Chains A and B, each alone.
Chain A
Amino acid sequence: MSMIIDRRLNDRNKNATNRQRFIKRYKEQLRRSVADIVADRSITDMSRGGEVGIPVKDISEPRFRIGRGGDREMVHPGNKEFNTGDMIAKPKSGGGGGSGSGGEGQGEDGQDNFMFTLSKEEFMNLFFDDLELPRLARTVLGDSQQFTYRRAGYTPSGVPANLSVPRSVKNAMARRIALTAPLKRELEELKTSGADVAEIDALEKRIARIPFLDEYDLRFRHRVKEPKPISRAVMFCLMDVSASMSEKKKDLAKRFYTLLYLFLSRKYEKVELVFIRHTSNAEEVDEHAFFHDPQTGGTVVMSALDLMIEIQRERYSPNEWNIYAAQVSDGDAFGSDPQRSAMRLSKDILPWCKYFAYVEVPDSPSTITPLAAAYSQIRNETFAMSTVMDRSDVYPVLRELFHKESA
């Protein structure tokens, strides 16, 4: 007799570990793929999985195999016109006829890349690895929704730690009263009527048997998960796009913006992005133009700050919006521009801005640029600045922000 077993409810993800091992082993190759994706994906679109590829030759498992060459015979089906002794031109290598017997001809032909899809978590992890993001920040970003716990009365089941003693005792008391009242009344009647002692005894015992505390008296404090209050934020991305900003610097900038965006999109239900690029004058553009259109010209930082203020006044009232801003520049500024910009920033922007991060991507880390010199005068805890030479430098700029928010 056969046994038929329903295993459908068993664990479905038996291979999760093996998959993890695979991804871990080919992290380097995957990182390259992820970097490509980051480059051509929009900031708002970053937090989903993606298709990545690994060169097939990297992941092949070597075995001793007999290769092409030498002499051999093969038997094939489907002969139509050949007769013994016929000669046939050798097929170009890779043809179906060359691979000997019964074997599966797969693997050799077709794709050069082993393509597969990373889940959202796997993708984000590789992305964060690149930025050397610490664990804590990851959990802040990784949670797709944050909740707060709110009290919601009492519940008859729960963990001992949540037991509400007063509530439970109160219930027990009520139950005891309710259950014993009719018995006591009866007892009273028996006593007054002078009934049999045994009967009175039995009744008294019965009353004593009613438990002091019973399971259904227990009440536990109940807490419900509630999504955090929804709100909206706007994020201003300011970038110097003068000729000295190379592709690599823009790539760093993009990662910086992405990180801030991810952070904000976890925290706020709706995040709008405003892209302001500037050379000697500023303009608002869409994301593609922001990152990819080459521009030439001088550098006037002030113009971008002015435009930001203008846009904020028009569209984003601080009462309704949480305003964040991130500025990236190589630090070159001339004449009185840096000083005036720093003044404008601390006087006219920081008062209504929740956080303003400035990232500098200079050509060499040692020089102090005019803009950095001016900005470093600003004393305000909503303002952060840092020099970024490498991807791993990006996160520390936002460390304060993350720290504050995840605490």
Chain B
Amino acid sequence: MTTVKRKKTILSHGGDWDFELLQRYDKEISAIAKEYGLDTYPNQIEVIASEQMLDAYASVGLPISYSHWSYGKEFIQNEEAYRRGMRGLAYELVINSDPCIAYLMEDNSLPMQALVIAHACYGHNSFFKGNYLFKQWTSADAIVDYMVFARKYIFDCEQRYGEQRVEETIDACHALMDHGVDRFHRPSPLSAEDELQRQHEREEHAWTQYDDIWRTLPQKTVDKAGAKKKKRTFPPEPQENLLYFVEKYSPTLEPWQREIVRIVRKLAQYFYPQGLTKVMNEGWATFWHYTLLNTMYDRGLVDDGFMFEILQSHTNVVMQPGFDHPGYSGINPYALGFAMMRDIRRICEEPDDEDRAWFPDIVDKDWREVLDFAMRNYKDESFIAQYLSPKLIREFHLFAIADKHKEDHLTVEAIHNEAGYREVRRLLSKQYNRDVLIPDIQILRYEHMGDRSLVLRYNQLRERPLTDDAKEVLKHLSRLWGFTVTMEVFEEGRGVVDKVEVSPA
């Protein structure tokens, strides 16, 4: 801790909190956050009981969602784990909305509440507001309203068409949820009211335009050669947004089913940036709770006991067990993200020769500007590729392993040495590429003039197969589509290596 200026008085002692104290802490934290230049949505802090936290978990963190058995499963799972003491509850839950909703659990002590306020209400909040992915892909001001609309709409559908049919449709959509995202163009902003309006218009339009007489018109007979020339494949380009394609072109879906597909698609779209920025988002929030609370301590606003509790829980959060540790389950995004954020600050403030060689652009710059720029313009993949320093690779003892299915052993590709830094960094960055986690599956052909079957293509990379679940997902898809669905497994250089065909039951 640097020069301690204890000019202000300590806000409180001990662990008990009340609403007035929360307000005072929030005020102080907010003031310090402003000094550091954090730009946030207004905060809405909600104090809840632990059962309510379990509830909030189950509906994927949204304060409101439609009813579905899978949320019940999620809820039961969390509840059981919590009751058996296998898992504690997360301290915080924050929703990317405007105002930004954050939950505080009533059982937490005052220092923990302050930690959560700093972490969620100023850390995550500013990330939601600033990061380009969130800006482009989510409408923070509309999500809660939209979910209210979705809940109501799906409830109405259940009343009209039966729980069973609605559930089947949602099941199928959930199976395809990862493939319901527009990755390359910005979706239209959400608005529950417009949505309702549009939904009515779409339905209305379908009804008014329906005329049975068109069906009775004789088909134009075209000579075969001409037909062949005219025949184009549809879609002209492969489509990767499966849910969108289903919504627009499925030959059998009823209007309300299309609407449900749309709702799930919008939900997938909303969560899409979160999956791409886990390390950055958590790292950013952790860095800021650490920095803000330490500043409070330096200014004499909180006492030693407060800081001990904060540091203890902070240390737990950023722990990274080694690969051979029984508790190892991959790289901890909190640990990596926090370490990288701090490292960037260090490079700006106290660079050494190595840093000057690796990061000539950011040494001796104002760390706040550098961090702010990184937060706004990167996702995990590019963030790691850009900012992971050799020093951190050494600290984490990172090493890369190659696993080739034709060999019966693993090979160490690179370790934390001069020759390995770039390779380790490149491979780690690739690990956060979405295509590594979610297979690249696209719609190749829709035989809209033929048997109406759908042909998908899995672009297989380096002979990595899909899990057996794939067939189940295809069944769901063919249920939505109404006709046969085929999936080709295509590998560059080898052509189509496998084919799976599923017909609706």
A: residues with CB less than 8 A from B are: 1-8, 10, 12-15, 17-25, 59-80, 82-90, 96-106, 114-117
Contacts and interface: CB of A to CB of B under 8 A. Distances in A.
* Those 10 A-B pairs whose CB atoms lie nearest each other, nearest first: A78-B322, A70-B464, A22-B72, A18-B72, A62-B472, A2-B43, A101-B431, A76-B323, A67-B467, A70-B463
Given A82-B415, A84-B419, A74 B401 contact: yes
A71 B45 contact: no
Contact of B80 (A67, A90, A116): A116
A64 B179 contact: yes
Given A2-B30, A3-B43, A14-B55, A64 B409 contact: no
B412 A19 contact: no
B67 A102 contact: no
Interface stretch (B141-149, B212-220, B391-399): B391-399
A69 B465 contact: yes
Nearest to A99: B330
Interface in B413-443: 413-417, 419-420, 424, 427-428, 430-432, 436-439, 441
Contact of B399 (A4, A20, A82, A103): A82
B19 interface: yes
Contact of A84 (B177, B329, B398, B412): B412
B330 A105 contact: yes
A83 B413 CA distance: 9
Contacts of B80: 115-117
B288 to A, nearest CB: 15
A67 B465 contact: yes
Nearest to A78: B322
Contacts of A4: 19, 22-23, 26, 45-47
Given A74-B427, A115-B80, 16 more contacts: A1-B30, A5-B44, A5-B47, A18-B67, A22-B69, A62-B175, A62-B470, A62-B476, A69-B465, A73-B400, A73-B402, A79-B323, A80-B322, A87-B410, A89-B410, A101-B436
B70 interface: yes
B400 A88 contact: no
Contacts of B178: 63-64
Nearest to B409: A87
A59 B178 CA distance: 19
Interface in B438-471: 438-439, 441, 458, 460-470
Contact of B463 (A71, A85, A101): A71
Contacts of B45: 2-5
Contacts of B396: 77-78
A85 B397 contact: no
A301 B343 CA distance: 88
Contacts of B68: 18, 21
24 contacts: A4-B45, A8-B106, A21-B67, A21-B72, A22-B73, A25-B69, A59-B73, A61-B70, A65-B439, A67-B466, A70-B463, A71-B405, A72-B464, A74-B431, A77-B322, A77-B397, A78-B397, A82-B415, A84-B420, A88-B410, A89-B410, A100-B436, A101-B431, A101-B432
Contact of A70 (B27, B405, B419, B473): B405
B52 interface: yes
B419 A116 contact: no
Contacts, number: 283
B112 interface: no
A19 B55 CA distance: 11
A178 to B, nearest CB: 48
A4 B76 CA distance: 29
B116 to A, nearest CB: 12
B462 A70 contact: yes
B48 interface: yes
Contact of A77 (B320, B404, B414, B466): B320
B413 A82 contact: no
B270 interface: no
A75 B458 CA distance: 25
Nearest to B242: A64
B324 interface: yes
B135 interface: no
Given A19-B72, A104-B329, A66 B463 contact: no
A62 B431 contact: no
Given A6-B19, A71-B464, A82-B415, A102 B330 contact: yes
B378 interface: no
Nearest to B178: A63
Contacts of A21: 67-69, 72, 163, 167
Contacts of A3: 42-45, 99
A245 B441 CA distance: 60
A88 B401 contact: yes
Contacts of A60: 469
B496 interface: no
Contacts of A114: 73, 77
Contacts of A68: 465
Contact of B58 (A6, A18, A64, A104): A18
B333 interface: yes
A77 to B, nearest CB: 4
Contacts of B43: 2-3
Contacts of A88: 401, 409-412
Nearest to B171: A61
Nearest to B29: A2
Interface string B47-90: 11101101100110000000111111101110110010000000
Contacts of B424: 75
B472 A12 contact: no
A26 B248 CA distance: 33
A331 B55 CA distance: 54
Contacts of B405: 69-71
Contacts of B72: 15, 17-23
A84 B397 contact: no
Given A7-B46, A62-B476, A104 B51 contact: no
